[in-house]
Amino acid sequence: MELKNKTVLVTGSTDGVGRVVAERLGAAGARVLVHGRDEGRGKATVAAIEAKGGRAEFLVADLASLAEARRLAEAVRERTDRLDILINNAGVGTGGQGAKRQVSADGHELRFAVNYLAGFLLTSELLPLLKKSAPARIVNVASAGQQAIDFDDVMLTRGYSGVRAYCQSKLAQILFTIDLAEQLKGSGVTVNALHPASYMDTTMVRQAGVTPWSSVETGADAILNLASSSALEGRSGLYFDGQRESRADAQAYDEKARRRLRALSLELTGYSSAASRKQHP
């Protein structure tokens, strides 16, 4: 995909791999909608893109709140009449050893809420714009760290660990990717997920107490491959490990599990079944 004059939203793009992706998109001629929670970092990212001749705008939202995820979608719709690429990159890490269970503004387990649920809602809200802009792409930045969703205790009220919560939320992204790809057949919109690189040199990894051993540049290469590679034109519902097509945890390929997650997600976000049918005729 030619990136010049394309409009791209990158969530979580004021730091780490998201910022590198945003800066590279700007350098390639795309109009970049930068997202983050911190206005200072957001303005700095926009300034860095503009200093190299790129175009960027900053949209602030805390994706620990579903209301703010909706507000972010509305801000995108107000600023542009097209969206060529959506990169769902924002996330919360494992929190390291001894991470305590936290909840979102809506009372949901924090990692499930930020890493998965907010992206589910934001994507659902922006699908009409993506379809209007087809061919368009959705890239979900997941992880090789995956754990099957326990549908009897999705919010992990028993036996909590930050690692388990993180891995479950990342697998949920992949189930969503495959499920959405089925719904989007024939629309001109593709959706794929990836593990960008292992233990990149990011704030998230350092906060987990892990010594980084991959660069954010390597991760950005993998994300941009899914966003723009001509080899992926029309291909959808895939999971990549870096730039190599791979297989996710077995639950991702369980149609019943994907249906259960979809129903739960619609319920938790308040995104009605009627709205879902309208978005996915």
By mean pLDDT, which of 90-99, 160-169, 192-201 is the weakest? 192-201
Mean pLDDT, residues 249-269: 98
Q: Quick check: helix, strand or coil at residue 104?
A: coil
> Each residue of 91-124: pLDDT tens digit?
998 887 788 999 999 999 999 999 999 999 999 9
pLDDT at 281 > cutoff 70: no
Told to judge if 166 belongs to the known catalytic residues of this protein, a careful annotator would answer yes
Question: Residues near 261 by Cβ (< 8 Å), separated by ≥ 6?
Answer: 149, 172, 175, 176, 179
Largest CA distance in the chain: 51
Flag whether the pTM goes above 0.75.
yes
Percent of the chain topping pLDDT 70: 90
> Each residue of 46-93: pLDDT tens digit?
999 999 999 999 999 999 999 999 999 999 999 999 999 999 999 998
DSSP 160: -
pLDDT for the residue 217: 87
pLDDT for the residue 1: 78
What letters, b where the CB count within 10 A reaches 16 and e where it falls short, cover 254-274? beebbeebbebbbebbebeee
Residue 29 pLDDT level (bands cut at 50, 70, 90): very high
> Domains in the chain, start-ordered, CATH in brackets?
7-279 (3.40.50.720)
By mean pLDDT, which of 103-117, 138-152, 207-221 is the weakest? 207-221
Q: How far apart, in whole angstroms, are the C-alpha atoms of residue 219 and residue 225?
A: 10
Q: How far apart, in whole angstroms, are the C-alpha atoms of residue 80 and residue 70?
A: 16
pLDDT at 209 > cutoff 70: no
pLDDT at 246 > cutoff 90: yes
The terminus-to-terminus CA distance of the chain in angstroms comes to 26
In this structure, what is the dihedral angle of CA atoms 189, 135, 169, 200, given to the nearest 10 degrees?
A: 160
pLDDT for the residue 271: 80
pLDDT for the residue 204: 63
CA angle 6, 53, 38 (to 5 degrees): 80
Name the token pair of 24.
């590279």
Q: Which of 166, 199, 253, 271 is catalytic?
A: 166
- Identify the residue with better confidence: 275 or 101: 101
Mean pLDDT, residues 22-32: 98
Q: How far apart, in whole angstroms, are the C-alpha atoms of residue 43 and residue 171?
A: 32
pLDDT at 276 > cutoff 50: no
